[in-house]
Amino acid sequence: MANSDFLRANKNQHSIKNSKSKKMDKDIDKAILIVINKLSEKYPQLDFEHEKTMKIVDIIAMLSRQYPEYTEHFGTPMSTTFINPDGGFLFATNKQGERRIILVSEVKHQGTNDKRKKEGLPKQARGNAIERLGKNLIGIRALFKNEGVLPFICFGNGDDFSEGSVQKSFFNHSPYWI
């Protein structure tokens, strides 16, 4: 059976990954609640809201306000498309009603070569969790193009983030690493 046929037939291929992902999603949601509580204590004059997704039409509306000269180039996305970072978007609103994104967060697990080595199996190519991360990061970077800060953080774990790995090296030297 061809590899792609095998993967399509294997109904359980994502069960471990999904249970691990669900736990990571719950953990980042708990962390965001802690952040909101701490910020609310420190900045009682601000209101904090957490939203899991942001529609592309809303991103384009924000970009159109920031860059009116490019509005005609943005196109019209479907009203149902959105970006969905694992930790969502944390907003702060001041007493004047000005609302700003103050945090966007992701959590990614990538790599099983440590386990494969223990099992006597050869190394596999590195995973694609970071490549998937890029989709959200592109939209988020566009929103903060004229800002002095990019309030984005990614928590990476797994063997692909070990010392000396490409991903670890990227994050240590990336201007987007916070």
The pair of three-digit structure tokens given for residue 8, joined into one six-digit string: 């399509």
Q: Per-residue pLDDT averaged across 163-173, rounded? A: 51
The pair of three-digit structure tokens given for residue 9, joined into one six-digit string: 């037939």
Q: Per-residue pLDDT averaged across 70-82, rounded? A: 85
Share of the chain above pLDDT 90, in %: 27
Would you say 126 and 110 are in contact if contact means Cβ atoms under 8 Å apart?
Answer: yes
| Residue 62 phi, psi dihedral angles, 5° rounding | -65, -45
pLDDT at 83: 87
pLDDT higher at 102 or 162: 102
**Which of helix, strand or coil describes residue 90?**
strand
C-alpha 134/C-alpha 174 separation (Å) is: 13
Q: Which domains does the chain have, with CATH numbers?
A: 42-49+83-173 (3.40.580.10)
- Tell me the pLDDT of the chain averaged across its residues: 79
Contacts of 100 (CB under 8 A, 6+ apart): 91, 92, 93
| pLDDT of 49 over the 90 cut | yes
**What is the tens place of the pLDDT at every residue in 96-121?**
999 999 999 988 877 777 777 788 88
C-alpha 176/C-alpha 178 separation (Å) is: 6
| pLDDT of 168 over the 50 cut | no
Residue type, 109: H
C-alpha 28/C-alpha 39 separation (Å) is: 16
**What is the tens place of the pLDDT at every residue in 116-161?**
778 888 877 766 667 777 777 888 888 888 888 889 988 877 776 6
C-alpha 41/C-alpha 38 separation (Å) is: 5
